[in-house]
Chains A and B, each alone.
Chain A
């Protein structure tokens, strides 16, 4: 923050309320990061229909986010925050109410979840130091990417094709063994949804129709005046 104080026209993107408090104490302009713009970014949602919800319709809140809520906007105004970053979920976003803060949209990678436990950071460590918040991190994830696939999901069949775990449907053992890790079918030859992990964070990727829909949303949403395009998985 000391460096930022001397920088011309600085912006600090915060994903932690404590950092926000410190930045404000120094009078630095703050942008709320996408970690604090809460929304449902579960990459399984595009496959979910009423049949998975006992006949209930998916609720509108699945296409809403903090940035559209009046109370959250009032909080931002109270703290002098004029910009918020957001992810466009795979299931899409409704247009937020008029007014509110300026917005930055991230494409094509969206954050599913993050934490302090990191698979890659556990590399080469004894059991007592594996899968625990590290004291420091030398970012081994700069060198590795993990691709995740959920073999139980078959997106091309639509929502009805998703097996219901409660219904007791069990994948044949051979189907699992044939997809031994590190020998996944090539891209395009596998209908299972693909997600990515970089360090301790899971991401989805906006592609095809989802990307077009996201860009339409960006174009139609007056407050979005900035788009961050990350050609590679963000770190």
Chain B
């Protein structure tokens, strides 16, 4: 299984490659795009800033540095859909990237644009973005038949589902998420925009919730039931906190405490997953390197012959946050956790009993 790392500048290539990255991906937000559509429209899933390079030349410099180390570079053009004027712009951009040899594959979402790209640039390699929403082997085959060489699978697939997809579409390269970022919704079915400065991310909105029974019953008045819903809402907030890196904290090993699939690496290797993705183009270089090192350490531990349990133990030790692993809220692949290795909470969590006067 290859380790796919984010990269944001030519200077990052060498340390990431030395750290263990086998493949690199980045995004491009050309200055011409910004001048034409402003900051409200993005060519990929990240806005202008550290997550994107600004020119084909800069992208080419990344590719040159990567190719010199026998690494490949993939570039994201994976916005949900592309209206005609943007598709025209991106097609021309892709042509320039290909002519310059500035990327080895394009990461694309819009199936219409995938077909157009393949028609106009038949030699280019295309990866279907996770935003394309491939949740089953037929979806993978559909995207492969459009011309995709690799399909990046959804972030919310279980290992058993990955196995079904692998068995159903054995000829297609599959890429999965391994570290650092997750979405609350299925990304391809999320129609919100991250483009509004100051608004934050829609799914992380601190909602006020009101849960009611449908029909004539209306409000939930039973105190016991209310307490159970209150508890569930609190747990839901805790889940969202895990998705948001628990306040962007780091572990003792200075690994980001975001979503994690380290202990699933043995299963992913056994399944024949082609590439494991580390998310975070916008992150600083230190975080990227620590993430790459962590994945390489666990992957190599397994490939060197230690069994799955020992590898999972090494993953838990490296992350250094077994209590955090207990809920599973940070896991990409929750069923990969080895229950012998993870301590259960010392105090069972559950709804509080309502005050006596309300019972």
Contact = CB atoms under 8 A, between A and B. Distances in A.
A62 B203 CA distance: 19
Nearest to A56: B38
A12 interface: no
Interface in A159-215: 162, 164-167, 179, 181-182, 184, 192, 202
B135 A69 contact: no
Interface string A44-76: 110010001110111111101110111111110
Contacts of A54: 39, 197
A115 B329 CA distance: 16
Nearest to A72: B112
A74 B237 CA distance: 43
A19 B140 CA distance: 11
B189 A114 contact: yes
14 contacts: A16-B136, A16-B139, A44-B199, A48-B196, A64-B83, A71-B116, A111-B189, A114-B186, A116-B186, A150-B207, A179-B208, A182-B210, A184-B208, A202-B185
Contacts of B189: 15, 35, 111, 113-115
B156 A115 contact: yes
B38 A145 contact: no
Given A74-B112, A114-B189, A130 B220 contact: no
Chain A: interface size category: 35 or more
Given A71-B113, A133-B156, A147 B232 contact: no
B167 interface: no
B24 to A, nearest CB: 27
A220 interface: no
B205 interface: yes
Contacts of A42: 191-193, 196, 202
Given A149-B207, A166-B198, A66 B37 contact: no
Nearest to A128: B328
B158 interface: yes
A148 interface: yes
B350 to A, nearest CB: 10
Interface residues of B, number: 81
Given A112-B191, A127-B349, 7 more contacts: A18-B136, A56-B39, A62-B41, A69-B81, A71-B115, A97-B84, A131-B235
B344 to A, nearest CB: 9
B328 A127 contact: yes
Contact of A127 (B110, B136, B183, B235): B235
B135 A18 contact: yes
Nearest to B192: A42
B130 to A, nearest CB: 12
B196 to A, nearest CB: 5
A206 to B, nearest CB: 15
A211 B126 CA distance: 40
Contacts of A19: 138
Interface of B: 37-41, 80-87, 110-113, 115-116, 132-143, 145, 154, 156-158, 183-186, 188-193, 195-200, 202-203, 205-214, 219-220, 226, 228-230, 232-233, 235-236, 239, 326-329, 334, 349
Interface stretch (A2-10, A117-125, A223-231): A117-125
B185 A115 contact: yes
B91 to A, nearest CB: 9
A62 B82 CA distance: 11
Contact of A117 (B110, B132, B184, B199): B184
Nearest to B211: A146
Interface in A67-93: 68-75, 78, 89
A38 B81 contact: yes
Given A35-B189, A149-B207, A132 B328 contact: yes
A142 interface: yes
A56 B40 contact: yes
A152 B183 CA distance: 22
A112 B192 contact: yes
Contact of A113 (B41, B192, B196, B213): B192
A20 interface: yes
A59 B210 contact: no
A130 B289 CA distance: 32
